[in-house]
Amino acid sequence: MGSIAETLDWRGGDGGVDVVVRGAHALDPRTDLARVCDLVVRDGRIAQIADAGSAEAPAGAETIEADGLYAFPAFFDPHVHLRSPGQEYKEDIETGTRAAAAGGYCGIVAMANTDPVVQEPADVRSLRERASAEGSVPTGFVATVTRGMRGEELTEMAALREAGAVAFSDDGLPIVSAGIMQRALQYQRLVGGTILLHEEDPALTRDGVMGEGAVSAALGLAGVPAVSESTMIARDGALCLYEDATAHVQHLSARQSVEAVAAAKAAGARLTAEVTPHHLTLTDAEIESLDARFKMNPPLRTEDDRKALIDALRDGTVDCIGTDHAPHSSNEKDVPFEVASMGVTGLETAFSVLYTELVEPGVIDLGLLVERMGSGATLFDLEPATIAPGAAASLVLVDLEAEWEAGAEGWESRSHNSAFAGRRLRSRPVLTIVGGEVAYRRRSFAMRVAG
């Protein structure tokens, strides 16, 4: 598996200045690390994990006093919309990757449903160049599976891989035709790269705008049945097994979907799955407000679905957490629910929301959250960040005691369509190091240079 910082594109990469993080409570479930210690970062790598207060700072190193803070391996988001090219009024590479750095991420993967879509090798190369110039964190770009995301003809997947596409996805739309899906999985033998799937059967979704159930019935909003998602997962699980191919199911929303993924995995299919912070913490009851900030696809569903998703995160049916960070302008959100654009931002709140709603109340362990926030890297054959001697130094310092109101100080993202805006959140990333370089630092958080 490759290194995130060396494989994906970003403006850093020269290793930066050396750093000593003093007195942090380091926690890495992958290496069973859980201790208060000093972390010495030299030439972009973790050179030493020493007892607190004992590490010698290399000459000229910056010292980060991290008493009372936690140090986690930095996170990886397999599912982000950076909106470039074509919709830079919502987000671009610079603002989106800054939001990622602020959220504690050391790597993200950008979807291809831009305007125009990413489907030519030149599209991929141009995005990679932009990321090399502007990206605060390493960014991978996926290309579409089908031309124009129309679901009819495959893109030139080999050439796209050659240009550096990290995976393929028509995310935003399902691949409706089972025949095309099968061809894409067959072609994977030649080109590699997983296929990220937005699972939804338009014939069952119809004109649905929210999860089907008591709330949609009461509001008179057309509901999307859970089977719209789960029947497609079942289909693609069977195809993956038949073709011995790999695919990744994005943003699970329903209990039936969890069951479909579990069944496919149990049968031996090489299927992975992701869940978003909003599906893990919110339900369709939020939509009683008719506030379009809670409109996204797949939709929020019932408390029973939410519980199934949490169980799936715990038992490994869900492999990783992805935000589906989907920025939209206020023009697209401050409109009636039925006509509002679908999607919510997520990079800047993911950890805090999940810590506040799931870890602090004791629903899941902190270690599990940290692990699933980083494990998405493996979908792209990348090594998740880890805190170990010799590993690339990609870590996030988090103040678990911090309390803040989401959005009160503005956002790094260009768009403000957070489903959590205005909520009191507990815990906050204060500093993100990627490959030894400080990618983000909260203004209030100071450093000093050792003599």
Partner 1 sequence: MRHLLSIDDLDRAGVERICERARSFADIARRDIKKVPTLRGRTVVNLFYESSTRTSSSFELAAKRLSADLVSIKSAGSSVDKGESLQDTITTLSALGPDAIVIRSPFAGAAQLVTRWTDAAVVNAGDGKHEHPTQALLDVYTLLERIGPLDGKRIWIVGDVAHSRVARSCIRAFALMGADVTVAGPPTLIPRGIEGLGCRIRYTLEELAEADVVYALRMQHERMVDAFVPSLREYAINYQLNPRRLGARQLVMHPGPVNRGVEIAPETMDGPTSLITAQVASGLVVRMAILYEILAGGDVPRIAGSTPGSAEQLRPLPVGEPA
Binding site for partner 1 (CB under 8 A): 206, 212-221, 223, 225, 290, 331, 334-339
How many whole angstroms separate alpha carbon 4 and alpha carbon 10?
10
Q: Look up residue 371 and give its two tokens.
A: 């692990």
- Taking the least distance from each CB to partner 1, the nearer of 291 and 311 is 291
Nearer to partner 1, 35 or 206 (CB): 206
Cβ proximity of 103 and 429 under 8 Å: yes
Per-residue b/e over 85-104, b at no fewer than 16 CB within 10 Å? Answer: bebbebbbbbbbbbbbbbbb
ω into residue 116 within 30 of 0, thus cis?
Answer: yes
Q: Which is nearer to partner 1, 3 or 341 (CB)?
A: 341
Least CB distance to partner 1 at residue 334 (A): 6
Q: Which of 311, 324, 381, 399 is catalytic?
A: 324
Q: In this structure, are residues 429 and 443 in contact, taking their beta carbons and an 8 Å threshold? A: no
> Shortest gap between Cβ of 218 and partner 1 (angstroms)?
5
DSSP H helices, 176-276, are 178-191, 202-205, 214-219, 227-243, 255-266
Contact residues for 428 (Cβ-Cβ < 8 A; gap 6+): 352, 398, 399, 402, 404, 442
Least separation, in Å, of the C-beta of 419 and partner 1? 16
Give whichever of 291 and 381 is closer to partner 1, judged by the CB atom: 291
CB of 116 to partner 1, least distance (A): 24
Instruction: CB nearer to partner 1: give 44 or 225.
Output: 225
The two most distant CA atoms of the chain are separated, in Å, by 67
Shortest Cβ 412–partner 1 spacing (Å): 26
- Residue 324 catalytic? yes
The residues, ordered by sequence, that sit 6+ positions from 74 with a Cβ below 8 Å of its Cβ are 104, 105, 106, 107, 374, 385, 394, 395, 396, 432, 433, 434
Tokens standing for 256? 């039936």
Active site residues: 324
